[in-house]
């Protein structure tokens, strides 16, 4: 009930804010009273339509599946086309039974909340979220340029100028998340998407937290018996003292990153980018995201993560023991500024750059040549090749066996859900449904080819 009342009050505040924005813009441009009255009527009509649409039940049949973009531990990501209006989106489908069994309800709720609240250019935009008996659905921006991990696999090592551009944008993206009162906690190349214009967007907020009670797993447990199963669990295995710190050969780098890609899509995950204070459950703040930035910068310039190991358990231990395992290979020939930034990010939380805010990171001399204020408006140094609207060539091909396994598992879960009908916690997915106010993404004009969908 508390959550419902909070959302009702938030909707009221958002409506007042939209009216204030309209009045402010009309005053700036000096609209006549007659034109201003017409604009107020249009907004009023839009608000009325929005309230009506929010009450309308959404269904997956409103979207046509085009292709599968990826398969994960709890579901899949697909490229879909909304039938009316004909628009392309990325749809993330999560199986309810798996989410509950794996104690991921709080994580899903946190992801839904930040995507619903986020309305900036650095975060993948959520347009709709809805559910049916078996699944949860997130309908989001389709970002056709693939992710940063795919680019790292192709290029292996980035030129410092290109790395500087991506790290600068990543800093601004993380700053936007922190300003909303959230911590991402899972910043890694797989979660950094490259848009059609070459600029980045953050995605996958499954480990994000806003320190709200609805983002706490204990709230969704009846007896507290469920154990978290994610990449933050620390194993008690011994550290491999003979870890390698030299530069990996190109083939090794490629295999290493392909292994990381597999881990990223698994339930266990990869701890390569997670801060030691998070792994140790020592209490943490937003500075844990800046650690991840340091790891990614190291990987861009050296060719592999600083705590690379053959197993996630070994990697965890190397991260925890960073004081003895962090070494920058002399063969990598990094600039002094890049070395300094890496070492000031990969350090204790109390001394880490960013502890007093993102401005500490932005003001580092590594970014001296970057205009942070106008970065998004600049032409990106790398623009992905996109041949047509539904081009998915920048994403890894999906293993057909995974698709077959996913389909067969879905059937078994549906049978299980029939046998276990009614066992879902009643409050688990309450207030999950969402529809963005301006859900057409500005694509309201007729298309030259009516059979060709717009992508957002």
In degrees, to the nearest 5, what angle opens at C-alpha 328 toward C-alphas 367 and 262?
A: 90
Is omega for the bond preceding 388 within 30 degrees of 0, making it cis? no
Distances (CA, A) of 209 to 8, 73, 176, 217: 22, 20, 14, 11
Q: What are phi and psi of 92, to 5 degrees?
A: -100, 120
Strand partners, 252: none
Residue of 113, 141, 147, 186 marked catalytic: 186
Cα Rg of the chain, angstroms: 23
Select from 355, 337, 231, 373 the least CA-distant residue to 290. 355
CB atoms under 10 Å from CB of 401, counted, come to: 9
- Whether 204 is a known active-site residue: answer no
| Helix (H) / strand (E) containing 194 | strand 192-194
CB-based burial label for 451 (10 Å; 0-12, 13-18, 19+): exposed
CB atoms under 10 Å from CB of 206, counted, come to: 20
In degrees, to the nearest 5, what angle opens at C-alpha 35 toward C-alphas 29 and 41?
A: 115
Q: Which residues contact 115 (CB under 8 A, 6 or more apart)?
A: 123, 124, 125, 126, 129, 138, 140, 205
Select from 109, 152, 140 the least CA-distant residue to 273. 152
Distances (CA, A) of 318 to 309, 343, 414, 441: 8, 16, 41, 44
Q: Rounded to whole angstroms, how far apart are CA atoms 55 and 114? A: 22
Residue 305 in contact with residue 264, Cβ under 8 Å?
A: no
Strand partners, 131: 136
List residues with catalytic annotation.
186
């Amino acid at each position: 009930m508390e959550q419902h009342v909070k959302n009702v009050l938030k909707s009221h505040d958002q409506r007042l804010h939209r009216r204030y924005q309209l009045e402010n813009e009309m005053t700036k441009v000096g609209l006549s009273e007659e034109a201003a009255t017409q604009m107020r009527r249009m907004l009023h009509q839009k608000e009325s339509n929005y309230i009506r649409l929010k009450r309308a039940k959404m269904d997956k049949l409103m979207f046509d599946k085009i292709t599968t973009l990826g398969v994960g531990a709890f579901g899949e990501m697909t490229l879909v086309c909304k039938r009316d209006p004909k628009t392309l989106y990325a749809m993330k489908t999560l199986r309810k039974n798996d989410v509950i069994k794996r104690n991921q309800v709080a994580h899903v709720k946190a992801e839904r909340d930040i995507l619903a609240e986020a309305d900036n250019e650095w975060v993948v935009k959520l347009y709709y979220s809805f559910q049916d008996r078996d699944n949860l659905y997130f309908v989001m921006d389709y970002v056709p340029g693939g992710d940063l991990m795919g680019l790292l696999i192709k290029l292996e090592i980035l030129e410092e100028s290109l790395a500087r551009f991506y790290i600068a944008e990543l800093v601004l993206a993380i700053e936007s998340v922190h300003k909303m009162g959230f911590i991402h906690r899972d910043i890694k190349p797989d979660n950094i998407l490259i848009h059609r214009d070459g600029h980045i967007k953050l995605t996958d907020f499954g480990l994000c937290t806003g320190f709200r009670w609805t983002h706490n797993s204990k709230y969704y447990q009846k007896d507290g018996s469920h154990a978290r199963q994610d990449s933050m669990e620390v194993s008690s295995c011994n550290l491999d003292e003979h870890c390698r710190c030299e530069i990996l050969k190109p083939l090794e780098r490629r295999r290493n990153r392909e292994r990381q890609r597999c881990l990223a899509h698994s339930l266990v995950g990869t701890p390569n980018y997670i801060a030691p204070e998070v792994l140790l459950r020592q209490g943490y703040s937003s500075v844990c995201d800046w650690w991840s930035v340091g790891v990614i910068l190291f990987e861009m310039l050296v060719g592999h993560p600083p705590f690379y190991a053959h197993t996630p358990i070994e990697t965890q231990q190397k991260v925890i023991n960073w004081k003895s395992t962090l070494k920058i290979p002399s063969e990598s020939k990094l600039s002094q500024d890049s070395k300094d930034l890496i070492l000031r990010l990969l350090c204790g939380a109390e001394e880490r750059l960013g502890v007093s805010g993102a401005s500490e990171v932005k003001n580092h001399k590594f970014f001296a040549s970057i205009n942070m204020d106008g970065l998004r408006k600049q032409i990106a140094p790398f623009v992905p090749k996109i041949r047509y609207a539904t081009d998915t060539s920048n994403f890894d091909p999906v293993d057909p066996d995974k698709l077959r396994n996913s389909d067969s598992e879905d059937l078994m879960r549906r049978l299980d859900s029939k046998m276990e009908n009614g066992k879902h916690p009643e409050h688990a997915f309450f207030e999950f449904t969402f529809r963005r106010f301006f859900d057409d993404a500005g694509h309201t004009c007729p298309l030259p080819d009516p059979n060709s969908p717009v992508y957002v």
